[in-house]
Amino acid sequence: MDARVDEVSLIVADDHPLVRQGVCAFLEIQPGIRILGQAATGLEAVELCREHRPDVVLMDLLMPEMDGIEATSAIKKIHPEAKVIVLSSFHEDSHVLRAIKAGVLSYLLKDVAAEELVSAIRKAARGEAVLNSRVASQIMGAITGGDRPVANALAELTTREIEVLRMIAQGLSNQRIADQLVLSEKTVKTHVSSILMKLNVGDRTQAAAIAWRTGLVQRA
């Protein structure tokens, strides 16, 4: 990783001190990542966000006083620009869907590789989502439980929209997609809106999950 990277400010929230301190110790030596504080409860995470306004929050789900989902909702109200990454042991669809609805950008499991965690943090700071492939598989039934089969929905996408969907699933922002496809960012936004409408999903993370499940991109 090039040391000349944009700095990302971060808060780490986990009620297990060994996990929290271990994650912080590892991240503190990564170039361009600055730890603003540690929280042992969801309420502490909210207060730290109110005080420091970090770029990214690394959030556990099960914590005392206020769980990670409740904390995410509160954080997004006081600091909408914060990008929340869940780092949890739980991958059941009920947890994931509630987290996404609360405003979580990315969802990782605690067995994530160290370099993948760092990459996800940097992507989150740019507004790019990362969803663990096991998590994507777990929630597909809930995501695609509408009236139309997923295959029929994908069939409605144009060739260009399929290309854009693959890039969304790879975690690319609209600007990076525009650069790679030599399009304007406004055109990419139009494609993304059309993709979400045709797939009958509410956000990019859900669209990416469909791309992973249907083999448009290969799983990590």
Domains belonging to the chain, first-starting first, are 8-130 (3.40.50.2300), 142-213 (1.10.10.10)
Out of 40-49, 108-117, 136-145, pick the least confident: 136-145
Query: In this predicted structure, what is the pLDDT of residue 194?
Result: 93
**Whole-angstrom distance, CA of residue 36 vs CA of residue 55:** 10
Beta strands (DSSP E) in the chain are 8-13, 33-39, 56-59, 83-88, 106-109
Above 80 in pLDDT, residue 143?
no
pLDDT, tens digit, 9 for 90 and up, residues 179-217 = 988 899 999 999 999 999 988 888 888 888 888 777 676
- pTM confidence score: 0.65
